[in-house]
Chain A
Amino acid sequence: MSSAPVLKVEGLVTELRSGGGSVRAVDDVSFEINAGETLGLVGESGSGKSMTCLSILRLIPSSVGRVTGGRVVLEGTDLMTLDEAQMRHHRGRRISIILQDPMTSLNPVLRIGDQVGEAIKLYRGLEGPALRDAIVDGLRAMRIPAPEQRVSAYPHELSGGMRQRVGAAIAMAGPPAVLIADEPTTALDATVQSQLLALLKDVQRETGLAILFVTHDFGIVATICDRVAVMYAGRIVELAPVAELFANPRHPYTEALLRSVPDLDVDVERLYSIEGQPPALDDLPAGCSFAPRCAYARDVCRERGPPRIEAGPLHHASCWKLAGYGD
């Protein structure tokens, strides 16, 4: 594991078109991921976690919105300064993505061998028998049983878990330095989910892959992530090593979320519940976005955006409470 981060995101801002104006779906997001590390990106729907992934890959259609600020440095190259042709050279090859829905991320009319092969050919320039071997090896590396036969299968002939493994084989074709996993297990059954998570961990151990794992499930976070970033209304409100975050959450939102999730091994009479609902991006409250739902909110929280407080080594949170409410 090298110490220089393979992916460094600094002050990323993405604005989406909305009505006549625009809203900030990603607002000043910064984080880094080292080789061999898994960073969890946790948030609710609309918190901006998927938009962050698409922004990093520069995959936001111009009709939807655009990245208006920040840097995304992949292995020393700022992706935001590249032209589209150069970006295409990195996308897939050095940084790739697996998506949530294994049904729609594969082309239904192409055999899976051809789909994996297309990526390998493009990224590694292999042809003929070498390409065929690489396809079978790629499928085998994702523990797809009988890969020699499966290359000629169509996506609909595979189960959801197998399709997701094919998606992973395509994503690993580069092989990439960074893998973005956007809720890849949400559509899968529990036993299949843990098989896929175990696979990703093994691949990471073998290749030193850096993984950005997007999820809303704290069970996944606790199981496979090294560090966690919690997003709320487009911003990262807290970022910490995983054990530290669970043991010592500093942002009221993180704390409340953790308390509101039932646990498999612990009985509680009543779940802690966060009142209200996440704000709409085109109707964000002044000050801290979480203030209207926060048990600790005071006047200053509703007036000015909260400062970022270093809460420990590698641990920061943006909250007025941690700053003593500005006193």
Chain B
Amino acid sequence: MATDAPLLELTDVRKHYAVSGGPLGLKTVGAVRAVDGLSFSVRAGETLSIVGESGCGKTTTARLILKLEEPTAGAISFEGRRLDTLDAAGLRHFRGSVQAVFQDPWSSLNPRMTVGRIIAEPMIVQARLSRQDRQDRVAELMTQVGLRREQAELYPHQFSGGQRQRIAIARALSVDPKLIVLDEPVSALDVSIRAQILNLLKDLQDRLGLSYVMIAHHLATVRHMSHHVAVMYLGQLVEIAPGRELFRRPLHPYTQALYSAALSTHVGRPLSEPALKGEIPSPLNPPSGCRFHPRCPHALAECSASEPALVEIEPGRRVQDCSCVRRLISAAAK
């Protein structure tokens, strides 16, 4: 299903937020580097997941891809066209091609709109269909995500969390998008509901050839859902690889730490406290050199000196070329 031309491509994307200070709050005293030099691409029919802990920039990345914010530098292209130079028609096409499903099904649906209107809104804005066609399409979408068409007249508060997430998915699908950004799509749901939604998302991907960019923290879910996984730390990509490869053999020390912190549902796997020192530093003044070096259990003296670049070590697999990573790889090869 995947073709070679990327559907979505990020090239050295940066997003810095000015931090004001001074007695009147008028002086710019620094910048939070929420996203700092991000490059990756997503192909049609594929799921790329972004993992990382709070402050790593994954949510900002999602907002940039959705064009809810503009990057400070770098380029984001969708179907080969740069988002910052789109004309009105191009923007309309983009809005009809990229949709989103957010984490909290309680805040992502307008409480004063009926479910039918919520689902139809993107179609109304894109002005693609007549009223009758739109209603038919809403009914079709509701059936597709496992709701009953009579429920279109109800309001969101009359639904449970899992059903609300189905409504959000139906809305996202209404304009036949090519890419859906999924920001923690199941983490606010009950455990017994999560599998329903994950299965639905996978079925829709198979049937409609959708691409997903998924933000998630639960590694087992990420492994189950993703073709590629990108690991972010303090605004940068530390490693990106095909999902199974990444989990079979995590290369970067931070990926290893995340992996060892993920709790398996196998009894008897010992609790391995990650050998990380301290906690995530502020993105306001990120550490010099490799941003992970102050916490890295394998850090060498040279790690604080130069900022490592991402290098491709296998097809589809890139990792930050830090001295310690090279040492780990060669040690593993022996």
Contact = CB atoms under 8 A, between A and B. Distances in A.
A256 B192 contact: yes
Contact of A273 (B196, B224, B276): B196
Interface size band for A? 35 or more
B53 interface: yes
Given A270-B199, A277-B160, A223 B220 contact: no
Contact of B264 (A162, A222, A267, A277): A222
B199 A273 contact: yes
A268 B198 CA distance: 12
A219 B262 contact: yes
Given A191-B276, A223-B271, A274 B195 contact: yes
A184 B63 CA distance: 29
A191 B261 CA distance: 5
Contacts of B272: 194
Interface in B261-291: 261-269, 271-274, 276, 278-280
A81 interface: no
B258 interface: yes
B157 to A, nearest CB: 13
B149 interface: no
A201 interface: yes
- Residue among B263, B268, B279, B280 facing the most chain A CB atoms (10 A cut-off): B263
B267 A271 contact: no
A219 to B, nearest CB: 3
A54 B274 CA distance: 33
A191 B257 contact: yes
A297 to B, nearest CB: 15
Nearest to B54: A189
Given A161-B279, A270-B202, A277-B160, A223 B269 contact: yes
Contacts of A263: 220, 264-266
B81 interface: no
Nearest to A189: B53
A265 B264 contact: yes
B258 A260 contact: no
Interface string B196-208: 1011001000000
Given A260-B195, A268-B224, A277-B162, A192 B247 contact: no
26 contacts: A45-B190, A189-B53, A191-B53, A191-B258, A194-B261, A194-B271, A195-B273, A195-B276, A219-B265, A222-B263, A223-B264, A242-B267, A260-B191, A261-B191, A262-B220, A262-B221, A262-B223, A263-B265, A264-B265, A267-B223, A267-B244, A271-B195, A273-B196, A273-B199, A277-B160, A277-B193
Interface of A: 44-45, 145, 159-162, 189-195, 197-198, 201, 216-224, 242-243, 246-247, 253, 256-258, 260-265, 267-268, 270-275, 277-278, 293
